[in-house]
Copies of this chain bind each other. A is one copy, B any other.
């Protein structure tokens, strides 16, 4: 199910031999009938754009927003690979196109894994016939599994839009940050929509989901969210499509945050009472990136002084006398001074896996929430080497 939940799509995942571990590493999502459908994507804003992002953008432009298939590999990001990387991304598309009897521009491509390592393109193209042959309407699970890197679980979602379905899969562990860092997601729907309508639904959907996710402040070279629409359910209300896509994105983002590298806490860090939503977002993101704050979460420590210090230094309007913080709904500081509170209730909240922290600037009605994690020993272990 998941990326194959919407009628009209097939998928598969296989072990092509890209990963030394022998784990699945090559996925395909395609239309069941091999004909092109409307498609749209949103991509990383990193200027160090990976080759598959460049190739996928170019193909969507060449076809006016249509595609038959998406090929995805894990184990190598095909980023910082120069002209050879672009040639390799095109070769992946061409290989799929040959198998399906379509044009290479009708194939989109995503890669995730290490940066700066040449692609084992012969291994990949040798594996493509098998992943194409394996495609089926129940291949969603295997496709979602083969895009995992340091993910510990496959991320999938199905949303019932009321007369249509949005299904999807995603991967993402470390390097999760604004503008969809090292995350890939492929969504499918049976709603009928133009490429422009799909793009609008995606832009709406990622804003409060993937783009509100900030695990470590690093923005990847490869982030891509794609949405393909088979149209088999016929036209739907724009608002219904937006809502269903947003719900799917939110679910996948929450799954990513819960599975972020080394995380022991999933934190909803809200800043309210800011002079604007934009200032609230700056503040929430700054706190979410603060290693001192992240370490205190790891230690189950409601050390609000560090949150105050970060908000005071991030450049937004800030007045200590109006500042308060709550953990799990219990206010621990008012006017930037310790407030009488139920310490046992706060300790119980901090000991849990899901933290709800609200910093109120007391200045206006601006608000923003970032979904983030703590900083743990395991995060360092996962990121101190490439091997």
Contact = CB atoms under 8 A, between A and B. Distances in A.
A333 B384 CA distance: 20
Given A291-B291, A291-B375, A338-B116, A309 B220 contact: yes
A279 interface: no
A49 B309 CA distance: 8
A194 interface: no
Interface string A320-343: 110100000000010111100000
A320 B49 CA distance: 8
A219 B313 contact: yes
Interface string A97-112: 0000000000000000
B221 A312 contact: yes
Contacts of A377: 377, 380
Contacts of A134: none
A23 interface: no
Interface residues of A, number: 66
Given A117-B338, A175-B292, A218-B313, 18 more contacts: A47-B320, A79-B309, A80-B320, A81-B337, A82-B321, A82-B335, A84-B337, A116-B305, A217-B291, A218-B309, A219-B310, A221-B305, A292-B383, A295-B382, A296-B383, A296-B386, A298-B380, A376-B380
A336 B49 contact: no
A384 B295 contact: yes
A379 B77 CA distance: 30
A298 B309 CA distance: 27
Given A291-B291, A380-B380, A46 B115 contact: no
